[in-house]
Amino acid sequence: MQDKISDGRSIRRWRRRLADEREEARVYRSLAARRSGEEREILLGLAEAEERHARYWEDLLGDEIGRQRRGQFRMRVLVVLARRFGSVFVLALAQRAESRSPYHYDQDVPASMAADERIHEEVVRALAARGRARVSGSFRAAVFGANDGLVSNLALVLGVIGGNLSSEVVLLTGFAGLLAGALSMGAGEYISVRSQRELLAAATPDPQARAVVPHLDVDANELALVYRARGMDEAEAQRRASALLRQLRSTLPHAHQESDATPETDGGAEASSETSDDHEVVGSGAKAAVSSFAFFASGALIPVLPFAVGLTGVVAIVASVVLVGLALMLTGATVGVLSGAAPLPRALRQLAIGLGAAAVTYLLGVLFGATVG
């Protein structure tokens, strides 16, 4: 009897494993449908691996395979998100799902298949890292701007309330804080990005400098200093410099033409390309300013909304704190999801930091109001 119960539990577990593998394959195929090139091939490779795992459970179940089941709810949600969005957030969620694989303690899973799942996690982690790199600048500005608007304006509003000022003054102060903070954020982000782009431009090697290389009266050691100044170690710099001079001496009549085309003179081109990539990562000052202004303003508007719709007193305060708390948890959870970590701890951390800062300002307002009174 015990063996039958045990067999029944095993069959149910195997069916769940089969359903989950099928769902994971759907996730990767859905993500692949929204991509091209290498990333598409990688995702299709992951889908094929999950389908191979599914066949293992099909073979193990045999005649007990039963009707086709759906996988876990979170995996079904991932399939829907992958089909509609295919964003880095879906990859981050898939990474977290892979990290929670039960295969390493399931006695019915071959060691090779458990190892496969660990490798799948690393593949998804690498793909998600690519996506994070692409959105890191704009995402940082969005989270920082919205969070700063939420916390700073809630703190400002609560500080004024603590000083026993009227709702009209609170509303005016809130909107003034919104506008002042958003303008400050926009201007600061514009200056920051422009300054960074100017620094990158100043560090870009002059491509015309390569044209004079054939006419230099230097030895390899002196030319190697150029490469070392660009970050190469001494041995590599010396190798590159010696090779370049050998090539130039052997083709001296055509040195001008050859020096611009040879791979050995590509140091400046490589550095220029890298600097160009850095420019793309930094983005434009105008876009950074507009996005920072918008995200700060959207965050700073939330604490003021209850007062703007006519609420007053304790009701308005509670509504403002609750709305800001929910928004803080949302931004914290979003950061958690994107980083592939559990969203709830990040949400609670964001909530504690934001409300803690606002509480300090409120207490200062109370103390100041009592002193003035």
* pLDDT of amino acid 8: 79
- Cα–Cα distance, 236 to 227 (Å, whole number): 8
Contacts with 132 (C-beta within 8 Å, 6 or more apart), sequence order: 88, 92, 139, 338, 339
* pLDDT of amino acid 301: 92
* pLDDT of amino acid 209: 57
Q: Per-residue pLDDT for 292 more than 50?
A: yes
- Cα–Cα distance, 225 to 237 (Å, whole number): 7
Percent of the chain with pLDDT over 70: 75
Look at 9 and 4; give whichever has higher pLDDT: 9
Q: Per-residue pLDDT for 323 more than 90?
A: yes
CB 190 within 8 A of CB 288: yes
Q: Per-residue pLDDT for 322 more than 90?
A: yes
> Tens of pLDDT along 150-178?
888 888 888 888 777 788 888 888 889 89
Q: Give the CA distances from residue 30 to residues 42, 46, 87, 262, 271, in Å, rounded to whole numbers and listed in that order.
A: 13, 12, 11, 44, 38
- Residue-range domain boundaries for the chain: 8-134, 136-185+292-370
Angle at 250 between CA 245 and CA 254, to 5 degrees: 95
* Model pTM score: 0.57
- Quickly state the pLDDT bin for 249 (edges 50, 70, 90): low
Look at 266 and 349; give whichever has higher pLDDT: 349
* pLDDT of amino acid 45: 92
> Tens of pLDDT along 80-134?
777 766 677 777 778 777 777 888 788 888 888 888 888 888 888 888 777 766 6
Mean pLDDT of 203-220: 58
* pLDDT of amino acid 317: 87
The average confidence (pLDDT) of the chain is: 76
- Residue tagged 């939420």 (tokens): 150
Angle at 191 between CA 133 and CA 355, to 5 degrees: 70
- Quickly state the pLDDT bin for 324 (edges 50, 70, 90): very high
> Tens of pLDDT along 213-232?
555 555 556 677 777 877 78
**Which tokens sit at 296?**
């700060």
Angle at 109 between CA 106 and CA 110, to 5 degrees: 135
Q: What is the DSSP code (8-state) at residue 65?
A: -
**Which tokens sit at 259?**
């020096």
Angle at 63 between CA 57 and CA 66, to 5 degrees: 75
Q: What is the DSSP string of 181-248?
A: HHHHHHHHHHHHHHHHHHHHHHHSPPGGGGGGGGG----HHHHHHHHHHTT--HHHHHHHHHHHHHHH
- Quickly state the pLDDT bin for 372 (edges 50, 70, 90): very low
Mean pLDDT of 21-41: 87
Mean pLDDT of 300-325: 89
Which residue, 88, 197, 186, is CA-closest to 145? 186
Q: Give the CA distances from residue 211 to residues 242, 257, 262, in Å, rounded to whole numbers and listed in that order.
A: 17, 9, 12
Which residue, 331, 280, 340, 346, is CA-closest to 128? 340
> Tens of pLDDT along 345-357?
888 998 898 888 8
Q: Per-residue pLDDT for 65 more than 50?
A: yes
